[in-house]
Amino acid sequence: MNDKKYVRACSITRALDVIGDHAALLILECAFLGVRKFDAFQRRTGLLRPLLSNRLKQLVESGLLTKVAYCERPLRYEYRLTEKGRGLYPAALMMVRWERRWAPLPRRTELRLVHALCGCEADPVPVCTACGGEIDAREVEWREGPGVGLVLPHYDRRRRQTRMPEGDAALLLDTVLRVVGDRWSSLILRSGFMGLTRYDEIREETQIATNILADRLRWLCAHGFLVKRTYQESPSRHEYRLTEKARDLYPVLTMLLQWGDRWYASPEGPPILLTHRRCGAPLEPAVVCSVCKEPLHIDQVRFEMLNEAGSLPGMAQAAAF
């Protein structure tokens, strides 16, 4: 008898199968900042060399990085972003946006984003390309798309929440990686954006093992992403509501959905379709400059990470990929 439990296919789930891991996201953060060589990745991320080697190999196999020889004697390689890897840049910008708004001050890295096209310091803004309005989770509807189907969740890929490693420089996305870098926490939040608030609903949608689900719900409540409310006294039943802090992660998931639709959707089409209620058009998200309203491209944004003494050394602009 087949007792395997399947869940609804979603491009966010597919994206998280590839990058829903602390170490992978740390490596991608460094790649967006211009890091290419193994030793430089190791110094900046603080990852143990075997773990770093493993994740680099996985990112190459997934097509996000390509391994290129830059020295023949001795043979040395560097890792460069592919078109597929560069496609995650809008999601990365949304993580930067969230980090600047919500990361605790003692840990938060102060930074400035400069848009080369207009020369101004800018904020990345998630917008609907049809009407130009800023994306708000409460103004977006979802429905099943032509590529909807069922997939078997990868329980063999359980990842424990771990303490972030310490590199030789401040991390750009220290706090947000603790959420997006934990696949199960991201899937719980995705369920919240789908209107699922009760334990049994979330469990049915995600098929997360009960012990992991209980642990992640506690963590998300303790860190201000969910609010636990009683909706039935006897027997006691609770629901989990998204906070404003969690709702501000919606653009991150939207960009991951867009990326997953491009690279992993079935021939029939995407499994989930979004509609922007404000204008009634299908939601096609984009990230634009807060000043000139033009799209932010990977080779047009410079990051300047600051401390009390000014710009931190060694932080390259996101160019020359």
| Cα–Cα distance for residue pair 96/86, rounded to 1 Å | 16
* Predicted TM-score (pTM) of this structure: 0.88
| Cα–Cα distance for residue pair 302/198, rounded to 1 Å | 42
**pLDDT at residue 9 in the model:** 76
Q: How far from chain centre, in Å, is Cα 257?
A: 10
Place of tokens 């334990």: 199
Rounded to whole angstroms, what are the CA distances from 5 to 2, 141, 156, 209, 252? 9, 26, 14, 11, 27
**pLDDT at residue 174 in the model:** 74
Rounded to whole angstroms, what are the CA distances from 210 to 9, 96, 110, 202? 20, 32, 38, 10
Q: How far from chain centre, in Å, is Cα 286?
A: 15
Instruction: Please give the average pLDDT of every successive group of 10 residues along the chain, which has 321 residues.
Output: 65 88 92 93 92 96 95 89 97 93 72 91 96 96 86 54 47 79 90 94 90 95 95 87 96 96 89 95 97 95 66 40 32
What would the two tokens of residue 260 be?
A: 């997953």
Residue 228 sits at the vertex; the CA angle it makes with 224 and 230, to the nearest 5 degrees, is: 160
Please measure the distance between the N-terminal and C-terminal CA atoms of the chain and give it in whole angstroms: 51
**pLDDT at residue 314 in the model:** 38
Domain 7-311 has CATH 1.20.1250.20: no
**pLDDT at residue 4 in the model:** 60
| Cα–Cα distance for residue pair 309/105, rounded to 1 Å | 17
Q: For 198, which DSSP code?
A: B
Q: For 132, which DSSP code?
A: -
**pLDDT at residue 136 in the model:** 96
State whether residue 21 is helix, strand or coil: strand
Phi-psi region of 56 (alpha: psi -120 to 50; beta: other; left: phi over 0): alpha
Q: For 68, which DSSP code?
A: E
Strands (DSSP E) along the chain, which ranges? 7-8, 65-71, 76-81, 110-115, 120-121, 124-128, 140-144, 150-151, 226-232, 237-242, 272-276, 281-282, 285-289, 301-307, 310-311
State whether residue 240 is helix, strand or coil: strand
**pLDDT at residue 207 in the model:** 87
**pLDDT at residue 33 in the model:** 87
